[in-house]
Every structure is written in C-alpha cells, then in structure tokens.
Amino acid sequence: MTNHSVETDFFLMEFSDSKQLQVVQGFLFLLIYLVSLMGNLLIIMLVTLDQCLHTPMYFFLKNLSFLDVCLISITVPKLILSSFSHRSTISFPGCVCQVLFVVSFVASEISILTAMSYDRYVAICHPLHYDDIMNRAVCVQMVAVSWLFGSLFGFLYSYGTFSLSFCGSRKVPQFFCDVPALLKISCSMIHVAIDISVIFGGMYGFFCFVSIVFSYVYIFNTLLRMPLLQGRSKAFSTCMPHLIVVSTFFVTAVIAYLKPVPDSPQLLDFLLSVFYSVMPPSMNPIIYSLRNKEIKAAFWNFIWKQDHYEFYWGKQS
C-alpha cells in the first residue's frame, strides 16, 4: 500500500447531481434501512424469546438475520449520510473497512445458507436421526466455521485489493467500496494477491452452491416419494423460504461479480448495485415472515403477551 493511496480519499458513485434528488434518495434509503433493521431484529428477538423456535433451523435463521443486519449497516448508512451531506467521499481506512466487512459477511452468509440446506436435508431425508445429527454442538460449530471462513476471505480480499496502487482516478464506480469497482480504478497491472483470493472465493462459493443443489435434489426426491400429500406440503413449505432466499442471494451475487464494471455508471448500474447489496437483507425477513407459520405464531404470541402484561399492570395501578 503506497502512501499516496493512504492519504487520498475515494469518491463514491452518486445517484444524481441534484441536491433535491439526493435528499429524496437519502430518505428512501433511510426507510429501507429502518425496515430491514426492524425486520431482522424482530426475527432475532422472536427466535431468542420463543421456546418453540429453539430448533436448529431457527438458530441458523437468527444468525442469518444478524449477518443481514451487519451487511446492510456497512454500506447503507454511509449512502444515507452522503445523500444528506452532499459529499460522496470516503476515507481510505473507511474504504478498507467496507471491503473487509462486506466480503466477510457475504462469505459467512453463504456458509449459513449452506448449513440451512443441510439442516433441511437431514430433517426430511433422515428424520429419525435428526436430533442426533443436528445437535446443538454441531450447529454452533457450523456457525463458528462460517464466521471463520468469512473473516478469512475478508482479510484475503481486503489485503489483495489494497496492496494495489491507486494513482489515477479516485472515482469508485459503485456507491460503496467493492472489489470489482476498486480493481477498475487501480493502475496496477499485476493482481497476484487479489487473483488468488478471487480463485479461492470462487471455489468456495461453487462448493457451497453445489452442496445446496445436492441437498435439494435429495430433498425433492424424498418429498416425491412421500405417500401423504399433507406431509409433503408441510415439508415443502419449510423449504420454500430458504429456496427463495438462496436463489435471490446467488442471482444477485452473479450480477455483482460477473457484470462488467462500466467506466461511467448510469442509473441502471446504480439500481443493479442496490438490487444485489441492499435488497437481499431487506427481503429476507419478509420472505420468512410471509411463508412461515411458526414465525407468525411467535409474533402474535409475543404481541398477546405484551397486551396481557399491560392490561395486568393497568388493573394493578
């Protein structure tokens, strides 16, 4: 890392040059951020408080929601602040932190999604051995490994990216510091460290994707052989939210890292960036809430307990 890189700020992509539109953008993303924050924190709270949700599936879901909160908090607050202050700059250390944490949380989220698919595979294909296979120690180890791999890839990608030189344009064609966008503006001709990181990251993502596909091949094969339609429908309903989340996550990841980075981003590029970096953490709570009866039951049970508590203390006073 050169001293020139350390001393100079980066300029992030702006939605519009109009200050009025930037303020509107700030309020819009503030609303999206608050909704995402409330949805994910609600899931974390419900899974923590409701004894009926103390199962491996919801243990992984709680960790997924926590990762979503962390992921969206790395990029969106900076975008909101830039919109209201009309300043799109980010310091070099701030840019390093964004790359480090975004990659770490994304890699950890891939591991959690893979663990959730394995959990569904064991629950549906080997129900008699489910409690023995998916015990608490195994679930904790899976989450710990996901955080370990996430941290490892975060450090690899951030070191590989910021070992490059940035001696030309400092305008990042993205509204946050992302690896493809930073590679676009780097003036280094050799990218050995980041190339190795990308290869390992691609192998890791491909392995997780194949593991999820194989899990669902066995799951659907088992579901088709189920004699009772009601049992088949119930099992499928537990898989559907996870399938939607996985599909959204991997489709947006492909858009993020296979789409060529433009020299001068347009509105469509900004919207695509928002789609893969902001929408998954915002949509995950909605997907699980709408498709999951146990989450909805836990929510209404919590509301009923709060109303009952307030009514009891109201009578006492």
User: The dihedral of CA 307, 310, 316, 317: what is its sign?
Assistant: negative
User: The dihedral of CA 152, 254, 93, 83: what is its sign?
Assistant: negative
71: CB partners within 8 A, 6+ apart: 102, 105, 106, 109, 281
Tell me the average confidence (pLDDT) per consecutive run of 10 residues in the chain, 317 residues long: 55 82 90 92 89 88 93 92 88 90 93 93 90 93 95 91 81 85 82 84 91 91 76 73 83 76 71 78 79 72 63 49
Q: What is the pLDDT of residue 5?
A: 43
- Residue environment code for 195-232, b if the CB has 16+ CB neighbours within 10 A, otherwise e: eebbeebeebbeebbebbeebbeebeebbeeeeeeeeb
Domain ranges of the chain: 3-312
| pLDDT tens sequence across 80-115 | 998 898 888 898 888 989 999 999 999 999 999 999
**CATH superfamily name and code, 3-312:** Rhodopsin 7-helix transmembrane proteins (1.20.1070.10)
Q: pTM, whole model, 2 decimals?
A: 0.86
Asked if residue 287 lies in contact with residue 241, where contact means CB atoms within 8 angstroms, the answer is yes
What SS3 state is found at 264? coil
Which residue in this structure is represented by tokens 């537990």?
238
| pLDDT tens sequence across 114-172 | 999 999 999 989 988 999 999 999 999 999 999 999 999 999 999 888 888 887 778 88
User: The dihedral of CA 112, 80, 24, 17: what is its sign?
Assistant: negative
* Alpha carbon of residue 35 to chain centroid: 15
